[in-house]
Structures are given as C-alpha cells and as structure tokens.
Structure 1
Amino acid sequence: MSRLLIRNARLVNEGREFDADVLVANGRIEKIATSLEGYNEPVEIDAQGQWLLPGMIDDQVHFREPGAPDKGSFYSESRAAVAGGITSFMDMPNTNPATLNLEALADKKRRAALNSVANYGFHFGVSNDNLDTVAALDPREVAGVKVFMGASTGNMLVDDPRILERLFADVPTILLAHCEHTPSILANEQRLRERFGEHIPAVAHPLIRDAEACYRSSSFAVELAQRHGTRLHVLHLTSARELALFEDKPLSEKRITAEVCLHHLLFDDRDYHRLGHQIKCNPAIKTRADRDALRVALLSDRLDVIGTDHAPHTWAQKQLGYREAPSGLPLVQHALPALLELVIDGYLPLTTLVAKTSHRVADLFAIPDRGYLREGYWADLVLIKPEPEGNPVSSQPILARCGWTPFAERSFRHSVSTTLVSGHLAWHNGQVVDSCQGLPLHFVR
C-alpha cells in the first residue's frame, strides 16, 4: 500500500483538536487539510468523527525475546501493541541473553526486523563488567542505556557506588534508571516473613517494596546525575514523595526527566485483594494517595512521559506463592483505551495524554519525524472509536502470548479501530494486518 486517505477525522495534536482529512503516501503524512476533495485513493477510511492521534511511542516494554518464548516474542507482543494503539516501542535489555554487548543488540534488531509489526528500538543494558562497552556506544544505535539500581536478575543489578559513579560520568547518551533500594526491600521482606512465614500475601507487596525504598534509590540517582551532568530518565515513578525530585518545567529545559506507567495510574493497593499477583510488579503499585498524586503530576511538566512497562509472565507463574510469583504484567493491548478512561473521567485532558504518550516521547529520545501529526512525518496514526455502551475486555481475544490481562473485568469506553505503522495498516476492524512491517527507530543525537 503506497497511498491511503482518512476522511472526517477529529485530529488531536500539539494542544489542539480540529477536524481534517489526512492523506498518507509512501509511509508519510503527505497532506492535512480541512477537506481533501478530488482524491481517489486505493484505500479510504471514513473516520466518522473518530479521534485521530499520533500513535503511542512506548519507551519501556519487555517483549521477552530472546529467552522466554512461553511469555512473549516480537511477533506476539508487537501485535498486541498495535491493537492497543502503540506504533513504536523500545525494548528493555533484561532478556536471555541480556543486551550487554553489541552482538546481542544486533541479534535483537535482526529478530524485530523479521517479526515486528510495530516500529522498534532497543535499550542497552549495564552490568558490573561492561562499562567500557557502554562508554563506547554510538548514541544513535540505542534508544538509551538502562541501569537497574535495584530489583533485577542475573548480573544486571548495579548498586556499587564506585561503578555507578563511573557510569553516570561516562554514559554517552540518555541513562534510564530502575530505582529501588535493595537492602531496604530485603529488610522489609524479612519483617513480613517473620509475620506471615512463607505465605506472604500479595497485599504485602507495596509494604516490602515501599515508597522509602524507591525514594532512597531515586534520590541517589538524581544526586549522581546532578553531580555529573548526566542525561537521566527515571522510570516508572510510583510514589508521591518522589515527585519532589523532578522539576516542573518544559522538557527542553531539563536534563533529568521521569516516566509514569499506566498501571500505577489505574490501580492502587486496594486492588491486590481482587487481583493478587496479577498486579505484582516492580516497583510496586502503592496507595491510592500515591496514585492520585501521580495523576495530578501529569497535569504539569513534572512527569514527562507515560509508558507501559509491559512485562508478561505465564498465568501459571502468576498463581505461585509470593516469593515465586514473578513481577510484571501485560499491558500493551489495552494501553490507549485504558488511559482514555482518565480523559473521560476528567483527570487528564486528551491533548495532555497525546503529548505524554507521543510528542514528548519523540522529543525525549530524539526520534525524528515521529510522534506528531505533521506533514512530512511518518504516518504512525491511531483512530479511536467511542464505545458508548462500553467495550468489555473479556469479549476480546488476548493477543499477548501469556493469554491474560489484569483488565479482564473492566469495560473501556473507547477502542482502537485502526492503527497505521509507518503508513501501513497494522490493525483494522479488530484484526492484525500481518503484512505490516515495523521500521527501526532512528535517534538523532
């Protein structure tokens, strides 16, 4: 498909909503106009007033390839992503093998090129023994560099202050940090084990991975970044206290930024009683007060972007006891419909949601020609259909390989009717278009 015309759409872009037609040619937006008459394109879509948004750019996913084919792959999870309005993703390095060298990075790029229907980029990992490789990275070849300052597996936990000092001083591009203070977590868990024995309930998770453990680590990361002038991006904030570490000013004026994830905006600690380990994740979903503080912070420039941290595990694994049940949950398939609930309920303007799922992500990671509805930009587009009677999640097939979702009991008031990736239909009328092939994201640094 080289040309496509979308008529009668309600565009949401750069703080505005307006009615227009959009012509797509050779993968890019060729023309945006109030009315495009006289065109006879091979594919025309009558939006009938549906919102047309730039596709969500998800800065944090775990698609599990290579190493965990029972949990996910670029094939399965990218298809779930386009169904949820995500047109581009950036995959995390804690796979098996981990993305700690250039060979592993090249292997993931090759796999995605063969199998992903969404556009793709990759974060590079940090261990205690690959700092020379990290320092020598070409910033244009990776989305970012990810450091686990707590709560990781294998050799990717980096909490030695000497190594962190060198990393923050030498990292050649944006540094993404998972911030939790491991000694605090271990001490909290020991106290809970003394109380509950080996049968720690799921509701104890935010008591073990509490706000203090997050703050001790994130405040240390911010202090290191300030001292070394590091371009730091702190992932998945979960607590009200941490928000004070970040400035409320435009992205262009900051070197330290922050992400919030949709599950920390939509769930709180009351949901553990109902969902148990389905919502066990690191860092933990915390109190309602924390959730509400994160929602309010989205209205300012204190929180810069929204991601998913999509991290699927099998249903059987999630049924295990507390210490065995892995952390992480599948989220990409319902990303925009779930976030739009915040818009409908009055917590977030639609233009702000678009800014923090598309515009700001492209700006933050220096991704050219994506993230906006602009002539000449890649046509990464999503049409959003209203569902006045509600669209029950339970009535839809789950495309993520794990086969389950924490939203199974929910009904969303919007659905994704069409997703275009680099100008090609990727999702339309409830079906993945398998012929679509995502493109590698480029980073201009």
Structure 2
Amino acid sequence: MRQIYSLVVVVVFAVIFSGCRNGGEGELTGVRQRNFRAEVPYGMVYIPGGSFLMGQTDQDVTFSQIAQTKQVTIPPFFMDQTEITNSQYKQFVFWVRDSIAITNYLNDQKYYITPRKGATNTSSGKKYINWAYVSKNPIWNAHSKAGAANASKLDGMYYQGDDRVFDKNEIDVHLLKYQYSIMELRDAANHRGDKTKKRSDFIFRDTVEVYPDTLVWLSDFSYAANEPMVEGYFSHPAFKNYPVVGVTWRQATAFTVWRTRLNEAAKDKRHLPHRLRYDLPTEAEFEYAARGGRIGTDYPWGGPYIKNAKGCLLANFKPGRGNYTDDGGAYTVNVKSYFPNDFGLYNMAGNVAEWTSSAFNESASTFVHDLAPTFEYNAKASDPEVLKRKVVKGGSWKDVGYFLQNSTRTYEYQDTAKSYIGFRCVTHFLGRDIKDKN
C-alpha cells in the first residue's frame, strides 16, 4: 500500500507542476518552444561580428577621394568557405530540370507525394514532388526501368530538328527556368502605413533561366582559343570543384532562394526551426570577411605584397604583364587552392570575382548607415541600366593585382554573365551558442 500511495503522490505532483509550466494557475510562462542552438551550416564558416574601416586606402589617390573611408560595424553571419562550385550549382540546375520534367512532361503520379489516408487535399490542389522517390528512381537513367519508361515522354525536352548535332539527345537549356518570389522588406518598411499598398506590392517576382552561359569563354575575349572551356568547363567532372562562372546576378539570386527552400524542406521533415534565408553577401560583409579580422591591410592574407617570403604568389590572378600560369593556373583553379584567410575563407581575392547583393552607387559610402551598411535595389526590366549595376568584389584570374585589394570595388550589370565572375552565399546568425557540424 505504501508503494501505491507513493506512486499516487508522485503522479499528482507531476501533473501539478506540468500544469504550471504550461500556464497553469494563471501564470505567464511563455509559449513552449523547442530549444535552439545555432549550428554552422555545412560548407560555411562563422564570421564573428566586429567593426572595421571600410573603403579605399590612401594608396589609391583617385578613388579614395570618391569613396571615403568609413568605420562600420557588421553583425555576425555565416559565409561559404569557398566560391560556389560547378558541382554545387549543377545540383540547382538538375533540380530545376527534374521539376520541369515531372510537372510538364511525365504526368506520372508516382513522382508526387501521396496524401496520407484521411488527409485533405490543399485548397489549391497543388501537388508536391516526392524527391525521395526521384532519388531512388532517376528519370534520366536510360539503363534503369524507370528511365527507359520515361524516355519517349521526355523527348520534348531535347533540342529538335536542325538544332540537333549527330542526333544526340541534348537538353534544351532554354527550357530550364526557375520562378521565385521574395519579399522586398525595405520597400515595405518605406511604405508602412500607406493604406493604398497591399502585401503583394512588396513581393518581387522573377523567372530566370538557370543554365550558365558557357559561351562567355569566347565572348569575353577577342581571338582567344577558349573552345575547350566552352565545351567542358561546366559539364566535365574534371572541373566539378572549380568555381561556377557564366552566372548572372539574377541567376545567383535565384540560387540563394532555391537553397533556402531546399534547407527549409529538410528542416520541416524533422520539425526543426528554419535558418534565416540564404543570400548574396553585401559589399560590406564581403570586405569585412575578406579582411579576416585584420586592420588596415591591403589583401586577405595581410599585405602589402602579393608574394610570400619564398616568392610564391598568394592568389590566382594576372601577374606581371600577362604571365597567367605563374600562379599555378591559366584560368580558374580549384576553390580550395592557396591558403585561407584568418576567418578560414578561400579565394576572397582572385580566382573569380564575386557578386554581392549591393547595388553600385559611387556615393553610397556617404549615405548608408554605419551599422550593417548596404544599398540594395531589385531592378526590373523596365528600369534604367544605371539601376542594374551590382557591386563585384575580390578580383579574378584575369585581373591585375589592383583588383585583388580588399577595398577595391567595381560593378557589372545584373543580366551580364562573365567567365570571371562567380559567387558565394551567406546566411545570418541566430542565437549565441554555436555547434559546428562541418
């Protein structure tokens, strides 16, 4: 009897205290939520917040008079350790390719998620692709049972008629388009309280062809025999860990949206909170990260020289008057070439220049805030060309040493693809404790 009595007392106390934790007895206890501990996303590094002098050094007399040096503070964030590679970007291209194939050509219910028994359909009737099934039953593998059955249905995705070469089945890359929407929070903040505006007025929508422009290897250079780079750079596995190029700013932005949704889908399966969205780094974030915590230095490795004490070049660029191979690569190199900076980031100078999220304005340093500064504008097709300029940082394999400096800024138009511009992503820090899963 004593054991039974003790058990009853324990159960009663458990019920009472459980009720208190959930708002029992009328106390304010807060909404019950899962514990959250920030983790370093795969392939990224943690960039601690800090303050630095942003802008040109006194060595650049011309531009130091235009863009004044300014002390700014950057909150902590995560940044890709390397530039986005061909292999990583190809995951995006293949996802778009398979999505279009399933939704527009196959019309096979096996590739969609089957609602659980008793579950109601969504009001829109929208169906969702079962990516677990797709991974086990590749739709393009002609040697598999599923692939062989799909072959005739997918014929419309290949080039047709005179566009074919030796009757090879090659995907018509112009079909590979990604449609996305993002909230323009700055625009919404500027118009808060405006009763004439709806939420939809602050949603930016775009449709982008995702396949890189491989012809940039020829169009960027006059009379240069770069045909092998056109034919193999993005498609051949030898270049899988080289930085993706031929990607416009709009394509890079589309990639960040897709990467955000990819991560959200994985978190939803495990009922975990989402990370903040992926994005391109702002100009200030890129420069701060490139400096690696060093103060007043010219290059990510310190400075003021581009060679170390042994005479070895420290980045992939255009040494001297055009001795491209003197640094170890005639074109781009593996994204983990050379030593990382003090934050653990590779090739923040050289290899490929990189897109930022910031719009280019010569006088931006005079009007942006000194806390997390940036000037951003999502230009539409009808906007003047001057509003389509985006800041490019870091210098590339074909640039002289000046463009490798931390403070150097230049621009390119958002619809322009180049053989020397790539990108990497950031996502912003939540929480205080960090768990590194890399």
Same-fold call, TM cutoff 0.5: no
Decide which structure has the larger Cα Rg and report it: 2
TM-score, normalised to structure 2, is: 0.24
Structure (1 or 2) with the greater strand fraction = 1
TM-score, normalised to structure 1, is: 0.24
